[in-house]
Every structure is written in C-alpha cells, then in structure tokens.
Amino acid sequence: MSKEQRAQVDAMLRQPRPDGPQPVEALRAGFKAMMARMAVPDGIRITRTTLGGRPSLHIEPDNGPRTGTILYFHGGGFVFGSPETALSLTGQLVARTGFRSYSLDYRLAPEHPFPAAIEDTLGAYRALLDSGADPSTIAFAGDSAGGGLTVTTCLAARDAGLPMPAAIVAFSPGLDATRTGESMDTKAGIDPFFTRESLGHTGAMYLAGADPHQPMLSPAVLADLTGFPPMLLQAGTNEVLLDDSTRLAARARAAGVDVVLDITADVPHVFQSFAGVLDEADQALDRAALFLTQQVRRPRDHR
C-alpha cells in the first residue's frame, strides 16, 4: 500500500497552482487551507496561552502530561504558517510521547524579517527556563523553517549563555539560506512542493537584504555546533532541501554531537504531516517520539 500512498500524496501536492510569485496573503491562505486537511489526533487538550510575550498553543494529553516539554516551531518559510497549521504535527508528538507542548506563534516576514523569529523563539525558551523548567526536560522540535529554528535557537541560546535543551527534532529543516546544497538541483522537479524560485521568493522576504552567509541563516554550512544536544534530523529523498539535513548532520558529527540522520525514500517535504494517510509518516513520528522519550529526562534522573 505504501507505494500507492506515496503516489497519492505526490499527486495532491502537484495540483496546479497560480503561475509566478504569489502575494503574502495568498501564500498564507493557501497553506492554511492545505494544512487544515491534515489529521489532528484525539486525546489531546489545546489551550491558547502566551509564552515569552508571544501567543502560543499549549497542547497536552487528556490524561495529564508526563514530565517533559516540547517547544515547537511551525513551518512556513518564515512567511506563513501558525501553531494551528502545525497542529497535526504537535498533536501527534504529544499523543505519542505523553509530553506537553508549547507551539509558538513567532513573528513572520515580510512584516518582521530576520532575526525577529529567532528573537521570539529564544524568548520563549528563556520564559520556560525562568518558569523553573529544567533544560533536561525541554526539547526543541519543528518543521521546515521551524526545523531550522530548532538549530538557530540553540545557537542563540548558547551565545546568550543559556543551557542547551535536552534534544532537537527537526522535520525537513531549512538550514541553508545560501541554497547551495546539491539537492537544490538534483531534486528539482522531483520535489512536488518547492522550486528554487519559490524558495527564493519567500527567502527574500525573510532576509530583507541580510547576507545569507552567516550561521543564523545558513547553519548547515557555517554553524559551529559544539556543545549541541543530541539531534534527530528527518527528511525525504524527494525534496530540494534534503542536503540541508545531510550537511548539518556532517557538521554535527564533526563537532562531536550525537546525531541521527533519518532519511525516508520517495516522500516529500514534511511528509510527517500525512499521518494516518502515509505509513511512512506514522513510522517517522514513532521514531521521533522514541527519540524524544529517550533524551528528555526527569530533572533528578542521572544519565
């Protein structure tokens, strides 16, 4: 069945779209409509709250959470998306781990370009620490642009002298604003979702003239990952951003960081969103949940 499932997902993502660059409002509306089709699991409670001065969704199991917090950063090219559009992913992680999650509504470009998103995610992490949460009980997770934020927020936290979280989980992370990965070209046309042009359109809004050749924008090629927590990077072979993950994994390995590079064949960008539709999505989420439960500890646990 899986081959048929993959073909169905690919066909859905290849449905005709308007030609040329789209205005921000159209991008946001289209992404919201697409993500509204994704399944949100039962057995979770969702509450609107704030964290670090930003709106966020607090998601927890109906039967009460175990010790552990997932600080989640949604995808959307830093231009669109919200905690609501990522609810299928955060809900699945909460349901599978039993942890609670805060999904952050960080500021978006072009109204708020780089580094506004990183300022917000760092502020949220600082707020969790200030509330008394032990860093060994916090994991960062995110998809696409939000997957990139799991890494750059760790860089910002380290620069600020804050402790590292227990773990990073990144689904199809965007980690290279220079767009120099070989997969940008070798997966062109194979990727049903992105083109170099579409990434350039939203990327320019986020950059707003900033040089992409800096660690906070292109960690896959420029970041020093020394001291980073264990990380799980999941991507599919059918995405132009594949080499963002493979190159970050190589940098992590060279820096002495525990890293799991988890590549699934013939699936698209953030394929984990298709839980309940695509077997590989459920399997990948199970692996992510296992990784999180292995890395996140109660404060007094000894490793």
Contact 227, 164 (CB under 8 A): yes
Strand 167-171 relative to strand 231-236: parallel, antiparallel, unpaired?
Answer: parallel
Contact 293, 286 (CB under 8 A): no
Between CA 83 and CA 130, with CA 108 as vertex, the angle to 5 degrees is 65
Burial class (CB in 10 A: 0-12, 13-18, 19+), 49: exposed
Residue in the block written with tokens 């399944």: 39
Q: State the DSSP H helix or E strand holding residue 30, giving kind and residue range, or none if neither.
A: helix 24-35
At 246, which amino acid appears? T
Contact 59, 44 (CB under 8 A): yes
Give first-to-last CA distance, the chain, whole Å: 41
Q: CA-to-CA distance for 157 and 286, rounded, in angstroms?
A: 28
Active site (catalytic) residues: 144
Q: CA-to-CA distance for 295 and 303, rounded, in angstroms?
A: 9
Q: CA-to-CA distance for 236 and 218, rounded, in angstroms?
A: 20
